[in-house]
A and B are shown apart, each in its own frame.
Chain A
Amino acid sequence: MRRALSIPLAAALVLCAMPAFAQVKASAQNVPEIPYDSVPNFLKLPPGRYLGEAIGVATNSKGHVFVYTRSANTQLFEFDQNGVFVREIGAGAYNFEFAHSVRVDPQDNIWVVDEGTNTITRFNPEGHITMVLGRRPPAVLGMLQSPVPGPKPPAAKYTFGRPTDVAWDPQGNIFISDGYVNHRVVKFDKNGRFVKQVGSQNAGAEPSQFNTPHGIAVDGNGNVYVADRGNNRMQVFDNNLVLRNIYDNIGVSWTVCISPGPHQYLFTSNSNPNGNPPGSWDITGEIYKMELDGTILGKFGHAGKQLGGFQVVHMMDCRNPDQIIVAEIESWRVQKLMLKPSAAPARPTTTAAR
């Protein structure tokens, strides 16, 4: 069997650029545990199909589950609400190289973020590409040195550096977290025209700067929540990308999601680091359920190999805030978690805002 390696060398990039992730114990105290069950054998793959690293997960309005996975090739799978395999979408598409995120918009379009091709691509519900943001580096330029030596050029309006996630406000404006090379959030209008950005090509730890913005979500009022992973915090911006708040008691914010409806909840994962360094299982792996204002309501989950434990949660779907679907890197697994009513009263216990 030929082991193929794409010319932009996404794989080697990961090998050489993957930082050693910090393990950070969340500073929030006395957070109630939310009990849950993990549905056994939730996703049922047909013979010959495999998940690789289960990087991205999202649901549409019918409850169908979309998984963007680093399998032999990066692939996008659709399952029905019971986890039965429906189809593969976009097999071999030009934007597929190294999965990072999948999200479904209110019109049930499926958006994928690929950090190997620097693209954010919209598939319509039928599975055809209807919009592309960013550009895949042209193959004709050959295999290039990465990272490029020397100073970084300024981040450009329409190209990305290993983007990580996408979200929309109620007006359809598009927000992209970008990413591992750039360290910024970019706002486009619904037609894909650049509006503005916060952050830059350089990492930073000051407010409104980022160090690997790794996930993004927008609430019903258009506020933007960014998992600022490298800074061990979440930053909250208004719709014009003006900073409103920082939540920094939740450990490493790997990924965020916000449930729909009149009372929205915010979820963030203090995922255990890749490689399971010594001691990491003791202090990481939990997911926080929060109010949008940063009030922590509870937490659930822990690092572990077995069902119900997590191996680097990379993405969450919280369309139903009592049924969280998580995609994990290192167990090549997607779990559906049924949260149970907490024994403790669901009222504010600790405030994240500083």
Chain B
Amino acid sequence: MKRSIQLAAGILALAITPLAAQLVVPEMAYDVAIEPLKLPPDLNFGEVAGIATNSKGDAFVYTRTGHPTLSLGTARPFAHGGSRMFRFDKTGKYVGEIGQASYAMLFAEKVKVDPQDNIWVVDQMANTVMEFDSEGRLVMLLGRKAESEVVPARGAAPPAAPGGGGAGAAGAAQAGGGAQPAGARAGGAGGGGDPEGGGGRGRGGPPGAGGQQDVFNRPTDVAWDAAGNIYVADGLGNNNRVAKFDKNGKFVRSWGQTGTANGQFRQPRSIVVDAQGLVYVADAGNRRIQVFDADGNFKTKFLNVGTPRAICITQGPRQVMYVSNSNPPEDIDYDGEIFKVDLTGKLLGKFGHAGRLAKEFNAVNQIECRTENEIWAAEIGNWRVSKITLRGTASTN
């Protein structure tokens, strides 16, 4: 069954791949470290949304450890807590926590470390991008957490959202049933088949209008260019834009709105910038990566990477990207492979597939390219971090 699905994916690639040379993507041999990060006995990861490492090899994990709570007997519903960030040293030993009890760690999305070893935290529910220094002190904040929550959630009408509480199994996660892969692969109106898609919350602008300055709506990722300019992927709500700030956090511009045309987005989930300053956006709902210059001018797009939910880019003179065609957390029977991609969009190799075993991946939400052959993956579906070692560079199969 798995094989037939991969075959189907291959046929799809055939249909949309512009270059015949890419029809055969070499399988890359790889190993996965068992439990690369050692948690204390009384601690567990929840859904692991973010993974990053700094220059010393310390690892940072941003995880959904419990749901935000609302207090009863208040003037408005206020949300508290829900996610935590753990720090490990380069041997995988647990060191401690950063940002505990901070104001805006509600629903973990990404963590990234910049070249100065500052730690950037993107929270999808608080609508914030928090920069901590390497000691864990807050340096800069983009966005603002909504003062209170809307109850029931705005835009939560069925059938677009998973049912509340007990009905959670119902709803869009089930809408496709066993046939879901077809719709998801076809890039149907469901936005990459993601039950979290659509339904903006927070204070973003009207649908399709983009967003203002640092008013985010379920932001997903952050990246920097060589000059320190900041790019935020924004996001899973209805902003569907990239917001650019200078290194001091001053708003520069934003581009994009909801749509399928070049320069438009549906659920941008990940963003990286290469050494030349080109910006690569994982436009997951449109099943493509879009490439822009630093001013947001559309340059090109890659249509051969499935549903890109996470991308990372290596450092050094010959940069490559890894792109995860992640399965959604609600299904392990299709997708899940990670592609190695050069900066022109050529697929150099691929590895992995969806599942719960070691060497399988389940809803990878972030990947960290520590080197070209050492990749870390944060798995929402398996509540774990996988450390991947690729055996040799671009395999010729």
Residues of A whose CB lies within 8 Å of any CB of B are 2-10, 12-13, 17, 88, 90-97, 115-118, 126-129, 131-132, 134-150, 152-162, 178-182, 191-194, 201
Contacts and interface: CB of A to CB of B under 8 A. Distances in A.
Contacts of A95: 46
B159 interface: yes
B66 interface: yes
Contacts of A2: 71
Contacts of B151: 142-143
A93 B44 contact: yes
A181 B44 contact: no
Given A93-B46, A139-B125, A143-B152, A153 B174 contact: yes
B315 interface: no
Given A129-B383, A145-B152, A161-B163, A136 B331 contact: no
B107 interface: yes
Contacts of A138: 107, 162, 196
A88 B41 CA distance: 10
B165 A8 contact: yes
A145 B164 contact: yes
A180 B68 contact: no
The 8 closest A-B pairs by CB, nearest first: A142-B153, A94-B46, A144-B164, A156-B174, A146-B164, A161-B169, A4-B69, A137-B168
B295 interface: no
Contacts of A7: 67-70, 79, 149
A165 to B, nearest CB: 15
Interface string B37-49: 0010110111100
20 contacts: A5-B69, A6-B68, A8-B67, A90-B44, A93-B44, A94-B46, A131-B356, A137-B168, A140-B107, A141-B153, A142-B151, A142-B156, A148-B163, A148-B164, A156-B174, A156-B180, A158-B331, A159-B174, A161-B169, A161-B170
Contacts of A182: 169-170
Nearest to B73: A3
Interface of B: 39, 41-42, 44-47, 63-73, 77, 79-80, 82, 106-107, 124-125, 149-154, 156, 158-159, 161-178, 180, 196, 199, 201, 218, 236, 329-333, 355-357, 381-383
Given A3-B72, A142-B149, A180 B166 contact: yes
A32 to B, nearest CB: 40
A193 B381 CA distance: 13
B173 A13 contact: no
Given A93-B46, A154-B174, A144 B166 contact: no
Contact of B164 (A8, A92, A178): A8
Contacts of A147: 163-164, 166-167
A194 B173 CA distance: 15
A159 B46 contact: no
Nearest to B82: A139
B156 A140 contact: no
B152 A142 contact: yes
B170 A139 contact: no
Contacts of B161: 141, 144
Contacts of A152: 170
A100 to B, nearest CB: 11
Contact of B174 (A8, A91, A150, A155): A155
Given A4-B69, A8-B67, A159-B173, A144 B150 contact: no
Contacts of A146: 163-167
Given A92-B66, A142-B151, 10 more contacts: A4-B71, A5-B70, A7-B68, A128-B44, A140-B201, A146-B167, A153-B172, A156-B173, A193-B355, A201-B174
A76 B329 CA distance: 25
A196 B167 CA distance: 21
Contacts of A117: 168
A94 B65 contact: yes
B382 to A, nearest CB: 7
A182 B41 CA distance: 35
| Secondary structure dominating the interface of A | loop
B107 A159 contact: no
Contact of B171 (A127, A148, A191): A148
Which one of A115, A143, A147 has the greatest number of beta carbons of chain B within 10 Å?
A: A143
A144 B67 contact: no
A116 B165 contact: yes
B167 A148 contact: yes
B110 to A, nearest CB: 13
Contact of A127 (B42, B67, B165, B180): B42
Given A139-B106, A144-B156, A157 B382 contact: no
A178 B169 CA distance: 10
Given A127-B42, A161-B163, A153 B68 contact: no
A150 B196 contact: no
A145 B156 contact: yes
B156 A6 contact: no
B166 A4 contact: no
A137 B66 contact: no
Contacts of A178: 169
A131 B379 CA distance: 12
B356 A191 contact: yes
A137 B164 contact: yes
Given A145-B152, A150-B159, A159 B168 contact: yes
Given A142-B149, A150-B159, A193-B333, A128 B39 contact: yes
Contact of B178 (A143, A157, A161): A157
Given A131-B356, A157-B331, A13 B199 contact: no
A49 B204 CA distance: 45
Contact of A139 (B44, B107, B169): B107
B364 to A, nearest CB: 15
A176 B40 CA distance: 30
B166 A161 contact: yes
A94 B77 CA distance: 22
Which one of A17, A88, A142, A179 has the greatest number of beta carbons of chain B within 10 Å?
A: A142
A208 to B, nearest CB: 19
B230 to A, nearest CB: 22
